[in-house]
Amino acid sequence: MRRVHNFSAGPAILPEPVLAQAQAEMLDWEGAGVSVMEMSHRGREFGQIITEAEADLRTLLAIPSGYKVLFLQGGATLQFSMVPLNLMARGGPPDYVITGEWSAKAAREAARFGVRHIAAATPPDNHTCVPAQSDWQLHDDAAYVHYCSNETVHGVEYHWIPETGNVPLVADMSSHLLAAPLDVSRFGLIYAGAQKNIGPAGLVIVIMRDELLGGAGPGCPELLDYQIHAQAHSMRNTPATWSIYIAGLVFKWLLAQGGLGAMDALNDKKAALLYGAIDRSSLYRNPVAVADRSRMNVPFILRKEGLDELFLSGAEERGLTQLRGHRSVGGMRASIYNAMPMAGVQALVDYLGEFESRHG
């Protein structure tokens, strides 16, 4: 067996102890005589799995009472539709802030449901910073404000929480939820697809303030109505049982690591190591404003033409995989989520130096 250092943006690396536990429990989950994939979502065993997953997530993020946790499907992309479908009627046109591909897609989808305002945006060919909040044009009567707190493609991250007064703040946190402690009380609604920093694909987690439930219009399909999911405890229909189980194991692993404070410190160290190597080199370059750099997704380019394929094949040979940048921006991207150990980042940094000394 060979395990590589997997820098994929998503579906992405999972903690090895979680995979080992899933393997050990694959044929017989805690004496049930079946795998989690084979058990009824309405049975006692799965009831325990989803209840513990929610409780552990609440502990990790210190989610205040008055917030629902939903385990849904359709990815973060379906949230681009569910958010306007459920929240748009609360007020005037919602405000969207665009800082990269994902927030642009969310804004595009919202336009299908009616008018929305673009409160601030970085240029489509230059998503390399976060616009200061003083430059946002927010509307006091907006139904909500939507932004993407970590742009997975461009490696741009907000290291601050926008202030929106009484207007609910909605965040797509798909690629960095659980990377650090978070003040959930500042948000009306948070969503995150699991396959980046949480667990397997097929699951999206929604954390939302109770008072935002019940805002879907009469034409809203029931599976797109947060209220119906909340009333049914995420079991209106069959949930993504396996993905919820694995995410639950990841939550327990995070707690055993010391929780999100410990992850935060480790993520700082990993990012500092990698950005330090990029910034010191004359071959590699990260285009993002230093204050807005993502600690999870680290894009970089090679300043010399024609070396990309050589770089990638050399990396593959050393077991450093999935480093090709997103097709829309090119270059390289290393995603270093919670599950990426320091040793993986160090192996990449060693390779960066080695490659530069030969080809730089």
Ligand X SMILES: *Cc1c(COP(=O)(O)O)cnc(C)c1O
Binding site for ligand X (CB under 6 A): 10, 75-77, 102, 148, 152, 172, 174-175, 193, 196
Of 337 and 355, which has the nearer Cβ to ligand X? 337
Residue nearest to ligand X (CB): 75
Q: Kindly state the smallest distance separating residue 61's Cβ from ligand X, in Å.
A: 18
**Among this protein's residues, is 160 annotated catalytic?**
no
Q: Kindly state the smallest distance separating residue 193's Cβ from ligand X, in Å.
A: 3
Of 113 and 139, which has the nearer Cβ to ligand X? 113
Of 76 and 288, which has the nearer Cβ to ligand X? 76
Alpha-carbon gap, residue 131 to 122, rounded angstroms: 7
Of 292 and 356, which has the nearer Cβ to ligand X? 292
Annotated catalytic residue, options 29, 102, 136, 253: 102
Q: Kindly state the smallest distance separating residue 170's Cβ from ligand X, in Å.
A: 12
Annotated catalytic residue, options 196, 253, 264, 292: 196
Strand partners of residue 300:
332
* Secondary structure E strands in the chain: 5-6, 67-72, 95-98, 117-121, 145-148, 150-151, 156-157, 169-172, 189-193, 204-209, 284-285, 297-302, 320-321, 332-335
Cis bond upstream, residue 11 (ω within 30): yes
Kindly state the helix (H) or strand (E) to which residue 289 belongs, with its residue range: none
Annotated catalytic residue, options 56, 95, 172, 225: 172
**Among this protein's residues, is 196 annotated catalytic?**
yes
Q: Kindly state the smallest distance separating residue 11's Cβ from ligand X, in Å.
A: 9
Alpha-carbon gap, residue 11 to 337, rounded angstroms: 11
Alpha-carbon gap, residue 253 to 249, rounded angstroms: 6
Phi then psi for 111, rounded to 5 degrees? Answer: -65, -25
Of 188 and 202, which has the nearer Cβ to ligand X? 202
Alpha-carbon gap, residue 325 to 143, rounded angstroms: 35
Q: Kindly state the smallest distance separating residue 296's Cβ from ligand X, in Å.
A: 9
- Going by the DSSP 8-state scheme, the letter that residue 263 receives in this structure is H
- Going by the DSSP 8-state scheme, the letter that residue 116 receives in this structure is -
Catalytic residues: 102, 172, 196
